[in-house]
Structure 1
Amino acid sequence: MSDDDFSLFQSALHGVKPLRQDDRADTGAPQRDHRQIASRRQAAMQPVEVQKVDGLSDQFVIDVAAEDDLHWARDGVQEGQMRKLRAGQITFEGSLDLHGMTVEKARETLWGFLAEATRLEVRCVRVTHGKAARLDGRRPMVKSHVNTWLRQHPQVLGFASCLPRHGGTGAVYVLLKRTMLDGRDE
C-alpha cells in the first residue's frame, strides 16, 4: 500500500470510532426480550385445559316433528345402499339411546359413540333419539338436533328412520364411512 493510499484511507475513516469488544452493531432489527421468550417457553410447556371442539353446530337446527320420518344421504352415496338402510337390511352393530339427556349431553355422547364406532370399523349403528312431544308444544329437541348433527358429522354417509321394531321415528339407522380395511366402501 502506498503512502497516498494510506492517507486516503485515513481521511475516509475520519470521525469513525472503533467498536469495543462488547459493542454490537445496530442492524435496525428489534432487540430480543430474553425474559419474554423464556416466559413464553415456560407457558408452552404447561398443560392447557383442552377445549373439545366437535364440529357439531347448533347455529341452524332443522326442526322436525315427533312423527317425522328422517332420512338423508351425503352426495355420492348409492341410492341402493340408502334403500337397504331404510328397509333395515343393513345390520346395525351398535346402539345408542339418548332418551332423557340434555342437548349438550346428547351431543357429547353421540360424538363419542360415533368416534368409537368409526375406530372399530362399524358400518351401521342405531341412534335412539326419542320423539317426546313437549309440554310447550314445540318440536322434539334431541330428535331435531340429532337430525342436524348427523348431517354435519364427517363419518356419517347417511341415515334413515328405523323400522317400527327398532324404534320407528324415534330412532335412526346411521351408515358410517369405513377406512376400507375390509375392502371397498360404498
Structure 2
Amino acid sequence: MKEQNSIKAAFFDIDGTLYDHQTHQIPDKHQRMLELLHQKGIKVCLCTGRALPLLENLKILSLFPWDGIVAGNGSYVYDQDLHPLFEDPISKKSADAIFELASKENIGIFAAGNCALITQEDPITLELLHKVSCVNIPCRAPKKEDAFCILSLCVEDTQAKRRDYESIPNVQVL
C-alpha cells in the first residue's frame, strides 16, 4: 500500500531562512527544496514579518509559484493570486500618533503595509534599509489611504523610547 503524505503545507520565513542577504537571492539548494515540496503536492507558502511591498522589493514573489502568503507578522494573508484573505493593519489612529510623535522627536520611521516608505533619509534609517536588503523605498509622509502593519523606529535604542510609544493604544515596542 502506498504511504500517503500527511504534510499538506510548508511555511517559510524569508530573513535568515530562505533569503541570503549577502548574495541577495534564495540559494539554489533552497529553490530546489521548494520545487521538490511542490512536486510532492505540498502547498508552499511564505510566512514572514515583511509586508507585501517589501516582498515585491526583494523580488521574491516572482522566484516561485507561492501557494499563499502570511505577511506583516500575520496582519495580511493572501492566496496564490495575491488576493487578500485577511487584513488587520495597525489602527489609523495609533499609526497617526506614532508618526506624529516620531516627527516631534525627529525620529525616522520605516513603515510597511499596503505600501512601504521611510520618513527620513538619515544614517540610521538608511542603515536599517541596507540591513534588510530594501532598495528604492520612497521617503515621504504617510497618506490617508496608507495602512501599516509594521512601523520601525529608526533609533539606536528602541527600548529608550518604549514608555512614550507604548502609551499609544495597541502599540508594543520590540
Q: TM tier, shorter chain? A: under 0.3
Larger-gyration structure (1/2): 1
Larger RCO: 1 or 2 (CA < 8 Å, sep 6+):
1
Q: Provide TM-score, normalisation by structure 1.
A: 0.26
